[in-house]
Structures are given as C-alpha cells and as structure tokens.
Structure 1
Amino acid sequence: MTALVGRVVLIVGASAGIGADTARVLAADGARLMLVARSEPPLAELTEELADYEVAYTTGDVTKAADVARFVAATVDRFGRLDGAVNNAATTQGGPLDEVSEEDFDRIFAVNVKGVWLCLREQARVMRGGSIVNTSSIGGLRGSSGMGAYQATKHAVIGLTRTAAHDFGPRGIRVNAIAPGPTESPMLDATRRAIPGGVEARIAATPLRKAGTGAEVGATASFLLSDRASHISGVVLPVDGGFLA
C-alpha cells in the first residue's frame, strides 16, 4: 500500500493500542510519522520497531496547551510541514454517573475533549490543506450504562469534529472521526475490569461476533487521511463489526 507516500502525519496517543497499531499501518502505507504520547519508553520502542520507515517521536501532554503547541511545531521542524493528524489520546472511566467523582470527571474531559480541541487548534494553524482524524467511539453515537462520563466525552469529540469540518473546510482541511466498537487494546482490558461482562455482551451483540483490532481501525484512519477520501469531511465512521447496524 502506498496511499500515504510522503505525507507527514502526527499521531497523538501513539504509545499503545489503537494509536500504536495505527502507526504501524500508516508507516506501511508510506506516511512519515511523528508519534506523541506522555511516556517516552513505549514511543522509543515503537520507533525502533518501525526503523525501516521514517518515524520520529516526542513526548507531550494533550491537556497542556504549551505541550501541544510544542509537539505540533516539532513535527513541522522535523519534516517541514504537516499533512495529516490522528488525535487518539484518551482515557477511560467506569461507573454510573452519580458515582463519578468530580476529580475523575474533570480528568477525563481534560484528556478526551480539551486535548482534542487543543490538538485541532494547533494542527489547523500550521496545515495547508490535508486531513485530520479524531478517535471517538460507538459510545459517542449511543448511550449505555456504566461509562457515562467517557461516553459524554466521545459525544463531544463528534461535536468538535463536525464543527472543525465547517471551520477548516474552506482552508482545504478535512476533519472526520472514527468510532471504534470494542477493539482489542489496553483500554478495552481496562473496560473489562471496570464493567465485568460488559465487553463480552457487546461482542456477542456484534454481527461479526468479534472485537476489532487496532490494525482495522488504523486502516480506516489511513483511508480517511488519503486522497481516496478527498470529498469526505464531517463524517463519523463506525469501525464496529456492525454493532450499530
């Protein structure tokens, strides 16, 4: 696959799970990558794994405006421009809404919503056309019990995506969201622990009767970043094995 040959793509939240698998897919598709996460060791390990490709990394916290500005600038300094981005950094939480602490509520919104907004803002300031993909969730398209604060953030990501598609479209920047269903990752493992049986119930209700993989989500991001999706913007694309069908 060569759909992204030469494109410079920033992946935020790239250290594990969907983000790391997306990096593997995009590298194989020819993209030049800047990987970002809070922790350096997994980024260094992934960059070493992808040594045959043009990949760099830097650390940063998406809840801090100065960090976001720095790692976007570092991408442009390293590669000369920014053509695309995957905003994937996120955290999760379980429990009914009336049991969520104010501290946890603020934390999850800071990462999952403010972080996406800060990334969109800084990316749009340096991009001259291109494509941005935000990671939402099927939880951003429907409700269910036990993960209310998380689902609220993923609804908000969809709102940010649709607004950004309008705001940035006249500049030639497309903005879309992907909405994974249960996808094998450390975050899915955390959900299994937080809501015993919940993940298995969702998989059982999925027409394809399986969880997705990070590579499948990454392939969807690659499509949206490529010219094959040149007239697609403001879309929320489920990658869920038919769960929402």
Structure 2
Amino acid sequence: MAEQTAQTAPPAIRTEPPAAKPDSAVVRDALGVGFAVGLSGFAFGVTSAGSGLTLLQTCALSLLVFTGASQFALVGALAAGGNPFTAAAGAFFLGVRNAFYGLRLSQLLALPRFVRPFAAHWVIDETTAVTLAQPSRRSARLGFTVTGLTLYVLWNLTTLVGAVGADAIGDTDAWGLDAASPAVFLALLAPMLRTGMERAVAGLAVLLALGFLPVLPAGVPVLVAALAAPAVLFVQGRRAGRTEKEEGR
C-alpha cells in the first residue's frame, strides 16, 4: 500500500529561485549590445550634419535626447523639408515608449530615489532588453548600468566623429546611413515579437508608415503608424466578443 501511494503521489513542485547568472556573462552581453548599437551613433552624426544641423546641435541631441529612433526621425524629417514642429512631434511620440519601459524597470531595479532621475535618461530599447533578460535584481542592475554607460559614452563619441567627418563622407543619401540605426533597432526588436498580436501591431505599423509616406508631410507617417496598436486591440476585442456570444448560444 505504501509503495502504491508513493508511486501515485504527484511530483513535488519545484520552487527554487532561478539560477544566478555570473557577472562576467552579464557584462559580456551588455558590452556586446552597447558596442553594436553605440557605433551607429556615427551614422547619426553624419546624417544630422547632412540635414543642416550644426555640430553643437547634433551633439546636444545625442547628449540630451539619447534615443536613436527619435533622433533619426527628427533629422530625417528635417532633411526631407518637414516642418520643425511636426518633426519634433514625431520624435516625441517615438520616445514616449521609453516612459512605459521605465514603469517596468523601476519595479525591477528598485534603485535609490536619488539615482532614479539619472537612470531614467538611460531607459531606452537596448538597456530595457538587456535588463529584462536577467534572472535576478543584481544581474539586472549590472546589465542596465553596463549597457547604459557603454552606449551613452560610445554613442556620443561616434556622434561627434560622424558630425565632424560629414564633409569627408560627401552625399549622405548615397551611403544610406540614415537606415543604420533603424536596422539595428529592428534586429533587436524582432526576437521580442513572440505573440500573434505583437506581430500584427508591428506589421500594421510598417504598412501604415510606408503607405502614407508618399502622401503626408515628413514626420507625420510615424504618428499615423502609432494607430496600429489601438486598431489591432479593437479587432481583437471584437473577435473575443463574437467568440463569447457563440459559446453562450
């Protein structure tokens, strides 16, 4: 009887905490992301200078804004002859996503209050991706710090080099350097699109941006692409409502 009970007893549920990740592995991953993305600051420096911004304006954008997608959106819209206010609005709405990242990271990192204003400046796509991939708070803090520091220093240095050397590059449109940062961003984003809804939002946003690009002023297609999320959520809600009605019959 005892043997039968032992054989039929359900297996014990393991409640062990996730295995700690060596600091060296966290630093290695963080440096890899920091160097890979930080080098594309050179492309921003060249593109910004080519769009008519001064060296001081270009470097100030990297120092104070420090979010590549928004920076490229701003200078790209200006280079295409877009209204400065429209260009700034497009860059602003692209940067709003960092505020949502911050809500999640503030709980995960639990940094001291006096550090938070400084850490908030480093809340971007890359630091968020590295931080969320860590199994513990210690490794999350280490990954966030190393990624943020590496990216900030390298991005600003390469921005300066790119802006100074823009004259030697020549025609920036011929080189297509304005596509470097978005390409890196998409490469980091693609593995995070795991659910069907996330892929639907991303795909619809691309279609909206490309579809309205020929007919709307520079910077506005980015704002239109933001409608992809509520549109997909609306469709998903309608489908869920229909399913509930059919099941209730």
- Asked if TM exceeds 0.5, the reply is no
Task: Give the TM-score of the pair, scaled to structure 1.
Answer: 0.27
| Structure with bigger RCO (C-alpha 8 Å, 6+ apart) | 2
Bigger proportion of residues as strand: 1
Task: Give the TM-score of the pair, scaled to structure 2.
Answer: 0.27
Bigger proportion of residues as helix: 2
